[in-house]
Amino acid sequence: DQQVKQNSPSLSVQEGRISILNCDYTNSMFDYFLWYKKYPAEGPTFLISISSIKDKNEDGRFTVFLNKSAKHLSLHIVPSQPGDSAVYFCAAIRFNQAGTALIFGKGTTLSVSS
Amino acid sequence: DAGITQSPRHKVTETGTPVTLRCHQTENHRYMYWYRQDPGHGLRLIHYSYGVKDTDKGEVSDGYSVSRSKTEDFLLTLESATSSQTSVYFCAISEISPVKWYEQYFGPGTRLTVT
C-alpha cells in the first residue's frame, strides 16, 4: 500500500502564475516531509521541507503547507518560471535505524510555459 | 554539490549476468542508500547502510545484495540480472546532524538496461 501519494502525474502552468502540487500520506508517524526536484538525467535535489509539528514553511518562491488532520501537504511555487519545469517528488521520513530513508510519492511533472 | 559519484553511468547487460554498481562519496557520511526509479513508481528504497559492514533491506530488496567495506563505497550487486531490474538506480547519502538531519543528497544515477 502506497504511504505517500501524488495523484496528479502532471501539471501545466503559465509563467508568472502559481503552481500547486499536492501530496497525501497515510502514516501519521512520519516525522518530516520533503519536496525534491528532479531534472532529466540528474539525481533528485532537495527543495524544501517541513516538520510534522509545523503547518507552513517558506523559502523564497516556494512554500509548503501541511494539514495533519487531512494528512495532506502541498507545494506552492509563486511566481512559476520556465526553469521550474521538472518532476517534483513528495517524500516522507520516519526516523529509525535506517536513518533518513525516504518514502517517495510517484512524482508530478510540472511544465511551465512562457 | 555533495561529492557523490556513481559508476558506471550507463550499462547494458544480458539476462542472467551478474552486475555491480558502485557508489562513491567523499563526504564521510554515515548513511548510504540505493534507490531505483521506475515510471509510475517514483523512487523506491532497495537497501541501505548505517555504517561500515552494517546494511539492511529496503522496500524492494529481492534480487539485490549490497556491501559496504569502507565508509566511502557502497556497492549494489544484481546476482543474476532480470529484465524487471531495468531501471535507473540512484545512490544517496545522509548524516545525522543538528541542522538539516533530514536531508539526503543524491548521485547522478546509473541507467541499467537488461536485455
Tens-digit pLDDT profile for residues A74-111: 999 999 999 999 999 999 987 766 666 789 999 999 99
**Is A83:A28 a contact under the CB 8 Å cutoff?**
no
**Is A102–B104 a contact, with Cβ atoms under 8 angstroms apart?**
yes
**Is B96–A99 a contact, with Cβ atoms under 8 angstroms apart?**
yes
Q: Which residues contact A96 (CB under 8 A, 6 or more apart)?
A: none
Among B91, B102, B105, B111, the residue to mutate for chain A (most A Cβ within 10 A): B102
Residue B2: the pLDDT is 66
pLDDT band of residue B1 (cuts 50, 70, 90) is low
User: Span B67-89, mean pLDDT?
Assistant: 97
Give the DSSP letter of residue A96: B
pLDDT digits (tens, 9 = 90+) for A42-73: 999 999 999 999 999 999 999 999 999 999 99
User: Span B20-24, mean pLDDT?
Assistant: 98
pLDDT at B49 over 90: yes
C-alpha A84: how far from chain center: 13
Q: Which residues contact A78 (CB under 8 A, 6 or more apart)?
A: A18, A19, A61, A63
- Could you tell me the three cell numbers for A114? 512562457
Residue B99: the pLDDT is 67
pLDDT at B97 over 90: no
Residue B98: the pLDDT is 67
CA distance A24 to A38: 19
Determine whether B82 is exposed, middle or buried from the number of CB atoms within 10 Å of its CB (0-12, 13-18, 19+). exposed
CA distance B98 to B13: 43
**Is B50–A49 a contact, with Cβ atoms under 8 angstroms apart?**
no
CB distance from A49 to chain B under 8 Å?
yes
Residue B40: the pLDDT is 83
**Is B19:B111 a contact under the CB 8 Å cutoff?**
no
pLDDT band of residue B84 (cuts 50, 70, 90) is very high
Question: What are the Cα distances from residue B83, in Å, to B16, B87, B91, B92, B112?
Answer: 9, 9, 21, 24, 10
